Amino acid sequence: MSETINVKLKIWRQKNTSDKGRFELYDMPGVSTHMSFLEMMDVLNDRLVREGKDPVAFDHDCREGICGMCSMYINGRAHGLLKGTTTCQLHMRHFENGETITIEPWRAEAFPVIKDLAVDRTAFEKIMQAGGYVSMNTGNAVDGNALPIEKVKADEAMDAASCIGCGACVASCKNASAMLFMSAKVSQLALLPQGEPERYVRVLKMMEAHDEAGFGSCTNTGACESECPKEISIAHIARFNRDYLTASVVSEK
C-alpha cells in the first residue's frame, strides 16, 4: 500500500449564517495515509493561509474521539464511513487514490451554519438546560457508594452517558430529529437514583425544548444508531417515549 494518496476535496464554503454558500474544489496531492482526516484539513488550511486565502472553518478539540466537537458530513455519512468513530478517528487510509471527497456541514434547521463546516449546536444546550440536570441541595457530598444501584442499570446509564453530543444523530436522521441525543441524556439520569425523582418532569420539559429548537420527529429509521460514534442504541428512544407518554398521562399540571 502506498504511503501517500492524491485526493480532491469538495468542501462547503459559507462566509456566515446568512451567506448562501457554495462548494469549492481543492486539490490535495501527496496526503499521507497515516494522517487523520482533521490533520489532512490542517494541511489544507496551512496551505490556504500561506496563499493568503481564508482557511476552512471546522470544529475540533480533543482529537481523540471523546469531546464531540468534530462534525463534518463526509461523502454522505456523518463522521465519514467508519462505524463508531468520530471524524478525528477517521484516517486517510480509508480513502482511495484519486478520490473526490465531499465535505458538508451538519444540515438541520436547528443547527445553523456559523461558517463553512462549523455549525451552531446551541439547540442541544437548550435541551439540556430545559431538563438535562439533577436538582440537589448543597451540603456535604454523599458517599457515592452509599446508594445501591443495580449493576445492569448502572451499565445502561453509563452506555447512555457515553453520548458526546456531537450531533451525528441529527445530521444523519432524515428528519433532523434529536431524539437519540435527548433520549440518551434522559436515560443517563433517569436510570440512576439521583435522577429518578425528576424523571417525568424532565421528559416533558426536554420534549418541549426539542420541538421548539426545530428538530424533526423520530420515524424510527435507526440511522442515528448506525451513525452514532458511541453506538448508542435506539432502545433509549423507546424508553424516552415510554416515559414521555407516562408523564403526559400522570402529570398533574
Partner 1 sequence: MIRAFSKLNITFACVFNQEKMITSLKMFYTSVGRKLIMALTGLFLCVFLLEHLYGNLQLYKIDGGKAFNEYTEFMTGNMFIRAVEFILFAGILVHALDGLMLTLANRKARPVRYAVSRQSQNSTWFSRNMGLTGSILFVFFVIHLREFFFAHRFGGATESMAASVANAFTTAWYASLYIVAMIILGFHLNHGFQSAFQTLGLSNHKYIKTWKCAGTVFALIMMIGFASVPVMLYFDFMGMSSNILGK
Q: 73, 95, 124, 181: which one contacts partner 1 (CB under 8 A)? A: 73
Which residue, 4 or 219, has its beta carbon nearer to partner 1?
219
User: Interface with partner 1 includes 222 (CB under 8 A)?
Assistant: yes
The C-alpha atoms of residue 35 and residue 233 are separated, in whole angstroms, by 30
Task: List the grid coordinates of 198.
Answer: 425528576
Strand ranges for the chain from DSSP E:
4-13, 22-32, 73-74, 77-78, 100-104, 113-115, 118-119
Q: How far is the CB of 113 from partner 1 (least distance, A)?
A: 8
φ and ψ at residue 160, rounded to 5 degrees: -65, -40
User: Interface with partner 1 includes 150 (CB under 8 A)?
Assistant: no
- Binding mask 20-39 toward partner 1 (x if CB under 8 A, else -) reads ---x----------------
User: Interface with partner 1 includes 202 (CB under 8 A)?
Assistant: no
User: Interface with partner 1 includes 235 (CB under 8 A)?
Assistant: yes
Q: Among all chains, which residue has been given the C-alpha cell 448502572? A: 154
Q: How far is the CB of 252 from partner 1 (least distance, A)?
A: 9
Q: Is 134 left (phi over 0), alpha (psi -120 to 50) or beta?
A: beta
Cβ–Cβ under 8 Å, residues 183 and 203: no
Q: 71, 86, 177, 188: which one contacts partner 1 (CB under 8 A)? A: 177
Q: How far is the CB of 129 from partner 1 (least distance, A)?
A: 18
SS (H, E, C) 83-109: CCCCHHHCEHHHCCCCCEEEEECCCEC
Contact positions toward partner 1, by CB under 8 A? 12, 23, 73, 75-77, 81, 102, 104, 107-110, 172, 174-177, 179, 204, 207-208, 210-211, 214-223, 226-227, 233-235, 237-249, 251, 253
